[in-house]
Every structure is written in structure tokens, then in C-alpha cells.
Amino acid sequence: MTLILFSVAAIILIIIILFMIRTAFLDIVVEKDLFFEDFPETFGTISIFFISDIHRRTVTAKIIDEVRGKADIVIVGGDITEKGVPFERVERNIVKLREIGPLYFVWGNNDYEIDYHMLDAILLKHNVKILDNACFEFESDQGEKMELIGIDDIAMERDRLDLALSKTDHAAFRILVSHNPLVSEQIKGEHHISLILSGHTHGGQIRFFGFGPYELGGIKKVKDTILLTSNGYGTTTIPLRLGARPETHLLHLKKSSTNNS
């Protein structure tokens, strides 16, 4: 009887592990419209493909094909790699993402596990704009402005939100990209940040009965700012997920109206 119970338990465990492996390599694009009262109407709709925490994964053709032609810009929210990942794989992922649109990048903690000078060189080689405590400005034909602000990694204590904001336009619509969602604790009303894009937590990666080491990813309101924390695309330490499926995001930013506010 003991041997039978042990065998049944072993089979169940194997099934669970196989399910967790399969879940870890799913290709999911979460598409969502986001409405803002202060979004510049002359921009119409701005579509952003956001992918974070790629780690050891290879970005699949399925993901690229699903969002090709649908995004104005692509943002990598940090951890594009980690220790032990070949630079050839990282470069292939960058080339694939560039097929979607202009590429922007913020540093994550795992990006510093490797020769980050080499990573920096690869990013620059492929014209990736690095948001390391910096800001990029977009202007519509009518002169309205949108700013994409990015900070370096908080866990590595390289973040300088003050520096990133130092050359911004007070009247612009502002999007802040930070690998770590803890940046929300630094945001003040005077910063006028409308949207934060982040990752890092993997949604806990492995959750039992709804509980995990981190909160499940999602969108929530923090003061006057919308905070998106992604479950991320890859995994770290072990290629397993449970209760926190991998995800990428296709976000359509629009001006709110009485029908959708």
C-alpha cells in the first residue's frame, strides 16, 4: 500500500512539474485600452508593446507576429538577460523586438549580473534608446508633448528619479518606466506621472492557493497614477510558473471621454 501511495504521489508531482514548465513558456499578450484625462488629444491613440523580465527566454515568432504593426513603440522593462545567458540570444531577442517598432530599455537588477558594458554596446548597436535616469520627448504636429521617462534599477541603488525629471516639460503627458514597481513610493503629485510601467516581481512566479512571495501582476491606481506591474515574460532561478502566467502587454493610450472615463 505504501508503495502504491508513493507511486501515485510521484505521478502527481511529475504532472504538476510538467504543467508548471508548460505554463512558464506560454506566449500571452494582454491587450488593454487605457484612458487618461490629461492625454494629449492630438496624439490620437499611442500603442505601446511592453515586455519585461525576459531572462533566459527566447522571444518567439508567435509573440512578434501577434503585435507586429500594432505598436508605435516597444519598451523592455528590465531584466532582458541574467547570468549565464549567451549574448547571442540576447541580441537575437533585441533584433526580433525591433521588428515591432522603435525600442526603449530600462535596466533591471539581473542585467547587472553579466558584463553590462557588453549589453550596453549591443543595445546601442541596434539603436535601442536606453532610459537610464533619462527622458525622451515626443511632440505631436500641434505641439502637444508626451514624455517617456526611465530610471535605472532601484535594487542596485542606481535610480535617480530627480535626474530623470530634471529636464522634463511640466505640461507634457508623462509615462515612467521602472523595472521595480517600488518606484511608486517615490512618486509625488507634483511629478505629474500618469502611467508607470514595471515588472521585476514575476507575479510571485510560483503561487500556492493564491499566495506567493509577491503580489500578482496587474493594473491599479496609486494616488493619481496608474501602475502596471507585469508578471513578466521569463522566469528566474527555475523555469517554472504556477498561478502567475507569463505575460506581455499591448497598451493603447487614449484621451478619456464621458463614455469611458
pLDDT at 259 over 60: no
Which strand ranges, in their side-by-side order, compose the sheet holding 193-198?
A: 134-139, 145-150, 173-177, 193-198, 225-229, 218-222
Strands (E) in the chain, as ranges, are: 29-36, 46-51, 73-76, 103-105, 129-130, 134-139, 145-150, 173-177, 193-198, 218-222, 225-229, 248-255
Residues with Cβ < 8 Å from 219, sequence gap 6 or more?
Answer: 32, 34, 226, 227, 228
For 6, residues 6+ apart whose C-beta sits below 8 A from its C-beta are: none
How far apart are alpha carbons 204 and 208 in whole angstroms?
Answer: 10
Q: pLDDT of 170-207, one tens digit each? A: 789 999 999 999 999 999 989 999 999 999 999 999 99
C-alpha cell at 127: 539603436
Cβ 98 vs Cβ 71: under 8 Å: no
Q: What b-and-e string marks burial along 250-259, b requiring 16 or more CB atoms within 10 Å of the CB?
A: bbbbbbeeee
Cα 223 to its chain centre, rounded Å, is 21
**Cell representation of residue 106:** 530600462
pLDDT in tens, 114-125: 999 999 999 999
Note the pLDDT tens digit of each residue in 160-171: 999 999 988 878
Q: Which fold has domain 2-255?
A: Purple Acid Phosphatase; chain A, domain 2 (3.60.21)
Categorize the per-residue pLDDT at 258 as very low, low, confident or very high, splitting at 50, 70 and 90: low
Question: What pLDDT does 261 receive?
Answer: 47
**Could you state, in order of their start, the residue ranges of all structural domains in the chain?**
2-255
Query: How do beta strands 129-130 and 103-105 pair?
Result: parallel
| Total-model pTM | 0.95
User: Of 50, 47, 114, whose CA–CA distance to 77 is shortest?
Assistant: 50
E-only strand ranges, 14-76: 29-36, 46-51, 73-76
Q: Which residue has the cell 508607470?
A: 196
Q: Is the pLDDT of residue 34 over 60?
A: yes
Q: How far is the C-alpha of 242 from the C-alpha of 16, rounded, in Å?
A: 9
Query: What is the tens place of the pLDDT at every residue in 54-102?
Result: 999 999 999 999 999 999 999 999 999 999 999 999 999 999 999 999 9
Query: Closest Cα to residue 43, out of 223, 224, 175?
Result: 175
Rounded to whole angstroms, how far apart are CA atoms 256 and 261?
5
Is residue 29 within 8 Å of residue 248, measured between CB atoms? yes
